[in-house]
A and B are shown apart, each in its own frame.
Chain A
Amino acid sequence: MIRISNLSKVYTKGRNKVVALQDINLHINKGDIYGIIGLSGAGKSSLIRCINRIEEPTSGDIWVNDINMIDLNPTQLRKARKKIGMIFQSFNLLYSKTVFENIAFPLRLDKTPEKIIKEKVNSLLELVELTDKIHAYPAQLSGGQKQRVGIARALANDPDVLLCDEATSALDPKTTQQILNLLKTINKNFGLTIVVITHEMEVIKEICNRVAILESGRIIEEGNTIDIFSQPGNDITKHFVEQSQELPEEFLKGNVLNLSFMHGTAHEPVISKVVKTFNVDVNILSGKIEFIQEKQIGKLTVEINVEPHKLLDIIKYLEENHVRVEVMKK
């Protein structure tokens, strides 16, 4: 559906050059909700803007629906953009126009007949549950309502792809949840491919089936969300995955292990078995079970005070039982 190859973006201001993206390669399948996560300044915004060429890539190719966006002239590009919806962190609605006119805006660009506009806008308003706000102005709406208008507007041209630029970052947790549910519904019902960029791991966990981690303009890890979550491959990824599991230094005295339970092991009493089999004391420091797209991942931080050779046996036993083990401190 979307294929990005060797994409680079360099900003030049006077003599200064800032590399925002380098050598990005991505493949997004039809029907994916694809998450791109990174810290501020990692290049997320530039990446998503290169997909519809709101920002001009410095080099590389971007294929959307088997069309290389880079090859298009301005007229063709405008036509291609109509099939790529986009929503924004700051909503970017037209403040001088009503909800109806905002959603009708993309249709009016093509001189769509008034009757069709009316039908389309009304059905979109029903989808985003804002029928009663049809004549309101954006200033009269809450953040969540504004974003729903943004979504309806982005869907007006029946796009194949929806780009979400930090779409929930300005919203409170409850509203974020509603918007994410709406995106999930749209993805399911219309088979719409969605690309999400965010700095919030919760968003990725909630809706994305695949995720890429962006750091200093490079993709450092990419894969199924569930895999990345259970086995983060490097420090930045761990930072996102385990940000809520940091323990104070004084807890990390003995042999501290980080355990990840996945694929059916999350509900097995492995720890209890370890205690019985090896006759050791296991001190649980922290733990939780996370649900990633309806799949469970158990995260447990434990302290086991035994001799090193016995510890190795325990780690071996745990790994045989499909528990991923990471030694934090010996």
Chain B
Amino acid sequence: MMYWVDVLMLPLWETIYMVFVSVFFTVLFGLPLGIILVITDQEHICPKPVLNAVLSYIINITRSLPFIILMIFIFPFTRLIVGTTIGTTAAIVPLVVASTPFFARIVETSIREVDWGVVEASIAMGASPLQIILKVLIPEAMPSLVLGTTITIINVLGYSAMAGAIGAGGLGDLAVRYGYHRFQTDVMIATIIVLIIFVQVMQSVGNKVAQIINKK
């Protein structure tokens, strides 16, 4: 039993560290990006068609690249920011780059779901665009945003395993080293069980939180 704990503990911690730090930055960049995508639309509160088209184009390009290719492609950028391309911290850079556009699209969908009538009512009450974003769009879309964040966490977990395969550590690295190179199926199975538990817990927590804050 202690053996499993020893083998799994460090990679699990590395994975959790990679996933949560990455998701933190993903939300930090992706939330404003998603909101900008909505409000700069021709029919929305801050129409800027050119900016909207350019952002949308960049997001589509980033999302076209499979994560493993994107990660290798931006090695120079990663080195520029963290000084290295190897290790858990280095993996956070490509993880954020890959999942920010993903999350931005999720935010975009959630924010678009907010009834236009409510936005119109806020405009009629004299709310500024910033007030509409902070006091109307985000609170009204919150349950949907929480679920979107849950999806993103699980998505980043998947990416992080790929990052692990090329030197980022974590559970992906563990599975490759023990399960693939050493044919230790038991470690492989243990890794899978840990991953399943992780995803289940994340999804249940996300659902519960969304349910609590949903007053509709």
Q: Are A94 and B124 in contact (CB under 8 A)?
A: no
Determine whether B55 belongs to the interface, using a CB cutoff of 8 Å to chain A: no
Determine whether A263 belongs to the interface, using a CB cutoff of 8 Å to chain B: no
Q: Are B118 and A92 in contact (CB under 8 A)?
A: yes
Residues from chain A with Cβ under 8 Å of B123 in the complex: 54, 81
Among A103-111, A177-185, A216-224, A252-260, which stretch is in contact with chain B?
Answer: A103-111
- Report the separation of the CA atoms of residues A314 and B49 in the bound assembly, to the nearest whole angstrom: 69
Output the nearest chain B residue to A156 by Cβ-Cβ distance: B125
Minimum Cβ distance to chain A for residue B177 (Å): 47
Over the window 56-78 of chain B, the binary record of Cβ atoms lying under 8 Å from chain A Cβ atoms (1 yes, 0 no) is: 00000000000000000000000
Q: Are A97 and B139 in contact (CB under 8 A)?
A: yes
Counting contact residues on chain B (CB < 8 A from A), the size range is: 20 to 34
Minimum Cβ distance to chain A for residue B143 (Å): 8
Determine whether B21 belongs to the interface, using a CB cutoff of 8 Å to chain A: no
Q: Are A95 and B117 in contact (CB under 8 A)?
A: no
Q: Are A93 and B125 in contact (CB under 8 A)?
A: no
Residues from chain A with Cβ under 8 Å of B142 in the complex: 96
Q: Are A92 and B127 in contact (CB under 8 A)?
A: no
Q: Are A78 and B216 in contact (CB under 8 A)?
A: no
Partner of A81, one of B126, B135, B140, B215: B126
- Report the separation of the CA atoms of residues A12 and B118 in the bound assembly, to the nearest whole angstrom: 24
- Report the separation of the CA atoms of residues A262 and B174 in the bound assembly, to the nearest whole angstrom: 92
Residues from chain A with Cβ under 8 Å of B215 in the complex: 95-97, 137-139
Residues from chain A with Cβ under 8 Å of B213 in the complex: 96
Minimum Cβ distance to chain A for residue B65 (Å): 34
Q: Are A108 and B135 in contact (CB under 8 A)?
A: yes
- Report the separation of the CA atoms of residues A78 and B123 in the bound assembly, to the nearest whole angstrom: 8
Partner of A139, one of B128, B136, B139, B216: B216
Minimum Cβ distance to chain B for residue A162 (Å): 11
Determine whether A90 belongs to the interface, using a CB cutoff of 8 Å to chain B: yes
Q: Are B216 and A81 in contact (CB under 8 A)?
A: no
- Report the separation of the CA atoms of residues A137 and B139 in the bound assembly, to the nearest whole angstrom: 14
Within 8 A of B (CB), among A119-172: 137-139, 153, 157, 163
Determine whether B193 belongs to the interface, using a CB cutoff of 8 Å to chain A: no
Minimum Cβ distance to chain B for residue A260 (Å): 39
Determine whether A238 belongs to the interface, using a CB cutoff of 8 Å to chain B: no
Known: A78-B126, A81-B126, A86-B124. 5 other contacts (CB 8 A): A79-B126, A93-B121, A95-B118, A109-B127, A139-B215
User: Could you tell me which A residues sit within 8 Å of B by CB distance?
Assistant: 52, 54, 78-82, 84, 86, 88, 90, 92-97, 105-106, 108-109, 137-139, 153, 157, 163
5 nearest CB pairs, A to B: A92-B121, A92-B117, A81-B126, A82-B126, A86-B124
Q: Can you spell out 27 A-B residue pairs with CB atoms less than 8 angstroms apart?
A: A54-B123, A78-B128, A81-B123, A81-B124, A82-B125, A82-B126, A84-B124, A86-B121, A88-B121, A90-B117, A92-B118, A92-B120, A94-B118, A95-B140, A95-B216, A96-B139, A96-B142, A96-B216, A105-B125, A105-B135, A106-B125, A106-B126, A108-B135, A109-B127, A109-B128, A137-B215, A157-B125
